[in-house]
Amino acid sequence: MANKNLFTSLVGKLIPPTDAINEEQAPAYAFSAKHKLAQYAATGCLNSTFYASGKDQFDQVMALCAVVEPEFIAKTAVYCREKGFMKDMPALLCAALSTRDFALLAAIFHRVIDNVKMLRNFVQIMRSGAVGRKSLGSAPKRLVQS
């Protein structure tokens, strides 16, 4: 067998160093805000998981929605509803979008809020005050009525 001190391989030497710490306090790689929002939208259920509570997930999503541009929020809401078949997260993203860009919300509303349960979720989120509004307001009310 060859001397391992003289003939070392490059395995592991080309990997970039970690730049973050995950929920288990282990070394990890940091994601961009868009990546985090897309990951929460595709996998987040707004319920307690092993590492995070529903409140923690909600707080993360709302913080990311404040940073990411509204076009990406709209695309993410459509994707996680149509391809991911999610229920609560797309309604939350639409509610968050209602405070940022109503024209985009109007453009995607009927693709995301496509049945009565989704409509009920959207209205419940809006009226709870969780996204910064306590009432629907006239513009979202027109979308709900249509």
Q: Which domain holds residue 129?
A: 20-145
The reply to whether 10 falls in a domain is no
* The pair of three-digit structure tokens given for residue 71, joined into one six-digit string: 């076009």
pLDDT of 11 strictly over 90: no
Q: What pTM did the predictor assign?
A: 0.84
Domain count of the chain?
A: 1
The reply to whether 13 falls in a domain is no
% of the chain with per-residue pLDDT over 70? 94
pLDDT digits (tens, 9 = 90+) for 19-53: 899 878 899 999 999 999 999 999 887 888 887 88
DSSP, residue by residue, 5-53: TTS---TTTSSPPP-EE-TTS-EE-PPPHHHHHHHHHHH--SS--SS--
Q: Which run of H or of E encompasses 59?
A: helix 54-67
The reply to whether 121 falls in a domain is yes
The reply to whether 57 falls in a domain is yes
How far apart are alpha carbons 66 and 84 in whole angstroms? Answer: 23
65-83 core/surface letters (b: 16 or more CB in 10 A; e: else): beebebeebbbbbbbbbee
The reply to whether 5 falls in a domain is no
pLDDT digits (tens, 9 = 90+) for 85-125: 998 999 999 999 999 999 999 999 999 999 999 999 999 99
Q: Which amino acid is at 84?
A: G
DSSP 21: E
How far apart are alpha carbons 107 and 26 in whole angstroms? Answer: 42
